[in-house]
Structure 1
Amino acid sequence: MAFLSSILQITSRLVAACRGSPSSSSSPSDNQKVIEDELKGLEMILWNIDSVLEDARQREIRDASVRLWLKELKGITYDAEDILDEYEYELLQCQVDSRNVAAAASRISRKRKDMDSQKETSVISKVPSFPHYMLDRIRKIRERFSAIKKDRSTLSLRDLGPRRYDYDDDDSIKPLSPSSFVDESRVFGRDGDKEKLIELLFSDMNSKFSVIPIVGMGGLGKTTLAQLIYKDRRVQGYFDLKGWVYVSVHFSVLRLTKLIIETLSGQQSCAFLELNKLQSVLSESVAGKKVLLVLDDVWNEEQSPWQLLQAPFANANIVRIIVTTRNSSVAQVMQTGTSPYQLGLLSEEQSWLLFKLYASASQEPLLQFIDIGKQIIKKCKGLPLALKALGGILQYKTEESSWWDVLQSDLWELDEAQAEILPALKLSYSRMPSY
């Protein structure tokens, strides 16, 4: 449920930023303080909803009411992101203006040492306050999420606890995301795809800037394939600068530019908050260099943010960007000049090798249930994530009934449009005893 983790990240970041941001008044009733309280309330509600999402995912295949609830939640979340993005911009602008005013006041102080402190203070206090309409909009967001939270009781959604999150240096939360590292011994059937894409990567070297999109349904192994390419010795040896950024739903040019600087430089923190300054830093760092960048899990379908993000790479010698996405429209927006690489499903032979690897912690059960296992992999239809998920679940199952429960489950009766839900099978069987 990437859509909810994204807004949780934004909300947490805004709460932290509010505490340190300037305001036009130190009064507890100040508009900014009220907004901070609203954001804290929203954050608590989001965590409350997040704790039942695992159960909702298990039930959405067969329960129309839960599917409708998730659809409504997703719609509210996207509306909220637009508003919170606007508020984040206002907050950053206020911080920038505050620093500018403070710098101006310092210059005035040096030039007019005889100026009384009251006049100087009046200059500093003229920091822009936040628009009043922001409070109403944020309050309405919280009310909409509060209403949908109440439906969890009506739907009898179980609280399975919040998902795992990692923390940035600034204590803002983020979901644990894929990195550039991969265990090649646990990957099957992607050697041909890897070689074709590396060939694309090095073709037409007269072209200064090129984007290579890897497109496919969720769980197909797009990220794994990008990891294989990224770690290839030919790729590592050719490019001067290499970086990996996990993008997800929230396509913030400011945030992504900061992350790109950090991944290309190998530094953990970039302190600048202004996009113009960040782009200048990025432009200088890539000047005359051969750059490889992987943008993993991209959802953005708007052209202007993408054009703004790629602008600093104009000074580079050669730029190759690998993009992984579920949506072919993303590739069209990027105007890559390269046809999207449609990643295919695994063959039955490759599927068996992958499933066997994850299901064979103990060799005896796998040999005992080899016929059932081969029937299970046929139903996985070559989807790597489903094969790994079910193999992992069955790894310690020594009872034949556990394997038959998986094979005969009605969750397999999915139409083509629901094929991406196959990995949810792992959740459905996660309650099976481990021993």
Structure 2
Amino acid sequence: MEVALVSAVLKIVGTKLAPLAIKEFRSKADVAKDIQELQDLVEEINDWLHTVGDKAIRNGRSSKWLKRLKEAAYDAEDVVHEFHIEAEKQDIKVTGGKNTMVKYLLTKPKSAVSEFKIAHKIKAIKSRFDAIVKGRSDYSTIANSMPVDHPVHHTRKTIGEVPFYTIVDETSVFGRDQEKNQITSELIETNSQQRIKIVSVIGLGGSGKTTLAKLVFNDGNIVNHFEVLLWVHVSREFVVEKLVEKLFEAIAGDMPEHLPLQHVSRTISDKLAGKRFLAVLDDVWTEDRVDWERFMVHLKSGAPGSSILLTTRSRKVAEAVDSSYAYDLPFLSKEDSRKVFQQCFGIAMKALDTEFLQVGIEIVNKCGGVPLAIKVIAGILHGMKGIEEWQSISNSNLLDVQDDEHRVSACLWLSFVHLPDHLKPCFVYCSIFPRGYVINRRHLISQWIAHGFVPTNQARQPEDVGIGYFDSLLKVGFLQDQDPDQDWSTSDEVRCKMHDLIHDLARQILQDEFVSEIETNDQINRCRYLSLTSCTGKLDNKLYGKVRALYVSGRDLTFDKTMDKQCCVRTIILKYITADSLPQFISKFEYMGHLEISNVNCEALPEALSHCWNLQAIHVLKCTRLAVVPETIGKLKKLRTLELNGVWSIKSLPQSIGDCDNLRSLYLEDCGGIKDIPNSLEKESPKPTSVHDFFESSRIIGPWILFRPC
């Protein structure tokens, strides 16, 4: 599996090395020669991996050789990334922005990133690749050193967020009518012996428990019978306080920011008092009766006849919560499995030859009647035009397992292997989000661009290319649960999430490159994706050494002010951190390309933003106290997107925003306090007399700005 990820990283390295290998460059340090040789080495290794990689992948466990190669690939990309940014920064100051690499290296030999510093780093990387190529002399270095094995599952505990969708397209669900009717009847039926009835649906991951719960949740009989309908995604870590906050959000429609738990609990009780409710608790794992009873206290005010529908993978969970009815969700029949497969293909199914249909049926039968496995495999097959590719999946030894749970996992792993190379890093990046996280398409694409996953040197805008990548991941089922009623062609707010098993897959692929809990020093040395939820206290500075993507959610998080500035971080997402921590984060990660800040009680964006030369997107969400965007924002010459959403206190935008030469999108939503529009945004249009007139006339300002009415 590691081969696929290494290959994707190497491809990015090769793409970024290409503009550096320029004939015009001459240097005593012979940098150009080293760059060209490094590019040749990268291409040679990648071609070789494509030739022998399948055998290595089927052997499952990665060798030390592959780990060395991956580390070298990451470090090479970091060096090139740093070089590009410093070159652009100096070029704008000195040469006016033309022929960036040539002019920077020829005219500024004593600049911050000098020829000799770059030469030293490039030579060191090239030496590592030379050694790696020599170690690859015999194919057995990889293939024979890795015994055949199935993926080992390492589960990390994280706290998920509330799912955004409870709507399901019933036409895409097969073989669940009987189950839906049976569970609906159980929930509605009154039990005088039990004030709150608990019905549990038990099934394997990917078997369709959540989909079935959605069918029940939206059933007309349920809607008419219950006065209050609530949906809470629980996930692995059963923290009562967090679940109560989610319950509050489901009832009140807003997060209980800075409210004491006692107040939150009282609000829930008041809202449910005397009302018959149905609460869906999706994906429950806890077997602790004490925790369960502590949670149930908050639901006691509901009227008799209230019910809880619980989905879980374990019968022990159903027993621990004293379920009055437990339903074991069966696998799909072969006939319904084929219907799911056919539905995933749509009209393209009719064009398949008999040979394809026969192999397709063989593959579907190996999926064991698990809907998720069928959908993901079907999505991969849809993009394959040769019968040989279909047969290679059918014959894969990964599918030759008897255990149902491992069969599902094998289908998902095999699907990743056959995912196009350009989509692999985009998918793996999504591991940074917590379980159940609602993913905004626009934000995700911005993050991909910051990491270099989306090419920016094409005729098409990178955002448009990114939409194609996003749609491809949806088609193969790696992203899912989009709103079926949404018109994507007219909406920028496309949202989706990842199934828990697919989320697990993304983190398993990264192995120790993903960290959510610090356990060993080795983790710190290898960490590239750092996701910290509900964290408090001071973090080890060493943790940030090689991190590329950072997700932080925690009000009391701090770190040592003496920490050196970090060059590797591309994307930062900050939620619920203290306002005092915000300037520290921004000042330490000035090479980042994407910054997302939400639910932070800051009154102004830090002046340190002006030093983040590479910053291409800023998203400020639900920071209700924010009143000031600094005038120095005009120094961000690469800024493409600025979004202010739910920023009520801000009254105006700085005049310097017109100096952001590459600004393409400005999103203002729920920002009713803005009364004045900077003259610098007028372009050739006359200054509007009001904000309303401004938005009405904004279409003549230019296609590079998209406004949303406040």
Contact 1:217 1:420 in 2 (8 A): no
Cα offset, 1:238, TM superposition: 1.3
Contact 1:244 1:293 in 2 (8 A): yes
Q: Secondary structure at the match of 1:280?
A: helix
Work out which of the residue numbers 361, 383, 400 in structure 1 matches 2:387: 400
Which residue number in structure 2 is paired with residue 249 of structure 1?
236
Cα offset, 1:403, TM superposition: 1.1
Which residue number in structure 2 is paired with residue 89 of structure 1?
none
Which residue number in structure 2 is paired with residue 195 of structure 1?
181
Which residue number in structure 2 is paired with residue 383 of structure 1?
370
Cα offset, 1:204, TM superposition: 3.0
Contact 2:160 2:233 in 1 (8 A): no
Cα offset, 1:60, TM superposition: 9.8
Query: 2:397 matched to 1:410?
Result: yes
* Alignment size in residue pairs: 273
Unpaired segments of 5 or more residues in structure 2? 1-55, 64-141, 144-157, 423-471, 473-710
Whole-Å separation in 2 of the counterparts to 1:313 and 1:353 = 40
Whole-Å separation in 2 of the counterparts to 1:260 and 1:221 = 23
Which residue number in structure 1 is paired with residue 310 of structure 2?
323
Whole-Å separation in 1 of the counterparts to 2:232 and 2:224 = 20
Whole-Å separation in 2 of the counterparts to 1:308 and 1:366 = 56
Which residue number in structure 1 is paired with residue 297 of structure 2?
311
Work out which of the residue numbers 412, 417, 434 in structure 2 matches 1:423: 412
| Comparing 341-350 and 268-277, the one that deviates more | 268-277
Q: Secondary structure at the match of 1:235?
A: helix
Query: 2:274 matched to 1:288?
Result: yes
Query: 2:291 matched to 1:302?
Result: no
Whole-Å separation in 1 of the counterparts to 2:58 and 2:317 = 27
Work out which of the residue numbers 157, 167, 187 in structure 2 matches 1:181: 167
Q: Secondary structure at the match of 2:281?
A: strand
Contact 2:280 2:310 in 1 (8 A): yes
Contact 2:272 2:302 in 1 (8 A): yes
Q: Secondary structure at the match of 2:316?
A: helix
Cα distance change on mapping 1:391 and 1:291 into 2, 3 Å: same
Cα distance change on mapping 1:293 and 1:275 into 2, 3 Å: same
Counterparts of 1:66-105 in structure 2 under 5 Å?
none
Cα offset, 1:277, TM superposition: 2.3
Cα offset, 1:314, TM superposition: 1.6
Cα offset, 1:214, TM superposition: 0.6
Whole-Å separation in 1 of the counterparts to 2:421 and 2:262 = 53
Contact 1:356 1:366 in 2 (8 A): no
Cα distance change on mapping 1:296 and 1:62 into 2, 3 Å: farther
Whole-Å separation in 1 of the counterparts to 2:282 and 2:61 = 31
Cα distance change on mapping 1:268 and 1:275 into 2, 3 Å: closer
1:20-42 residue CA offsets vs partner (Å, 9 max, x unmatched): xxxxxxxxxxxxxxxxxxxxxxx
Whole-Å separation in 2 of the counterparts to 1:397 and 1:428 = 13
Code of the residue aligned with 1:424 in structure 2: it is W
Code of the residue aligned with 1:223 in structure 2: it is T
Which residue number in structure 2 is paired with residue 213 of structure 1?
200
Cα offset, 1:286, TM superposition: 0.5
Whole-Å separation in 2 of the counterparts to 1:335 and 1:175 = 26
Cα distance change on mapping 1:178 and 1:326 into 2, 3 Å: farther
Contact 2:231 2:282 in 1 (8 A): yes
Which runs of structure 1 show a deviation greater than 4 angstroms over 4 or more consecutive aligned residues?
59-62, 172-178
Cα offset, 1:62, TM superposition: 4.9
Contact 1:313 1:319 in 2 (8 A): no
Contact 1:194 1:229 in 2 (8 A): yes
1:338-383 residue CA offsets vs partner (Å, 9 max, x unmatched): 2x21000000100000011113452455344111111111111111
Cα offset, 1:244, TM superposition: 0.7
Whole-Å separation in 2 of the counterparts to 1:60 and 1:228 = 38
Q: Secondary structure at the match of 1:243?
A: strand
TM-score (norm 2): 0.36
Cα offset, 1:431, TM superposition: 3.5
Which residue number in structure 2 is paired with residue 101 of structure 1?
none
Cα offset, 1:234, TM superposition: 0.8
Which residue number in structure 2 is paired with residue 342 of structure 1?
328
Q: Secondary structure at the match of 1:315?
A: coil
Unpaired segments of 5 or more residues in structure 1? 1-58, 67-154, 157-171
Code of the residue aligned with 1:366 in structure 2: it is L
Which residue number in structure 2 is paired with residue 63 of structure 1?
60
Whole-Å separation in 2 of the counterparts to 1:60 and 1:211 = 44
Which residue number in structure 1 is paired with residue 475 of structure 2?
none
Code of the residue aligned with 1:316 in structure 2: it is G
Whole-Å separation in 2 of the counterparts to 1:223 and 1:278 = 27
Whole-Å separation in 1 of the counterparts to 2:394 and 2:61 = 24
Contact 2:232 2:246 in 1 (8 A): yes
TM-score (norm 1): 0.58
Counterparts of 1:216-231 in structure 2 under 5 Å?
216-231=203-218
1:131-174 residue CA offsets vs partner (Å, 9 max, x unmatched): xxxxxxxxxxxxxxxxxxxxxxxx99xxxxxxxxxxxxxxx995
Counterparts of 1:130-279 in structure 2 under 5 Å?
177=163, 179-206=165-192, 207-265=194-252, 267-279=253-265
Contact 1:216 1:325 in 2 (8 A): yes
Whole-Å separation in 2 of the counterparts to 1:187 and 1:322 = 19
Which residue number in structure 2 is paired with residue 22 of structure 1?
none
Cα offset, 1:175, TM superposition: 6.7
Contact 2:338 2:364 in 1 (8 A): yes
Cα offset, 1:198, TM superposition: 0.7
Contact 1:223 1:324 in 2 (8 A): yes
Whole-Å separation in 1 of the counterparts to 2:287 and 2:57 = 26
Code of the residue aligned with 1:393 in structure 2: it is I
Which residue number in structure 1 is paired with residue 434 of structure 2?
none
1:281-303 residue CA offsets vs partner (Å, 9 max, x unmatched): 11111000011111111111111
Q: Secondary structure at the match of 1:362?
A: helix
Whole-Å separation in 2 of the counterparts to 1:322 and 1:173 = 20
Cα distance change on mapping 1:240 and 1:411 into 2, 3 Å: same
1:107-149 residue CA offsets vs partner (Å, 9 max, x unmatched): xxxxxxxxxxxxxxxxxxxxxxxxxxxxxxxxxxxxxxxxxxx
Whole-Å separation in 2 of the counterparts to 1:342 and 1:332 = 13
Contact 1:365 1:397 in 2 (8 A): no
Cα offset, 1:61, TM superposition: 8.4
Whole-Å separation in 1 of the counterparts to 2:57 and 2:209 = 25
Which residue number in structure 2 is paired with residue 129 of structure 1?
none
Whole-Å separation in 2 of the counterparts to 1:348 and 1:378 = 7
Which residue number in structure 2 is paired with residue 107 of structure 1?
none
| Cα RMSD for the two superposed structures | 3.0
Contact 1:257 1:279 in 2 (8 A): yes
Relative to its length, the structure with more helix (as a share) is 1
Cα offset, 1:176, TM superposition: 8.6
Q: Percent identity?
A: 29
Which residue number in structure 2 is paired with residue 33 of structure 1?
none
Whole-Å separation in 2 of the counterparts to 1:309 and 1:329 = 18
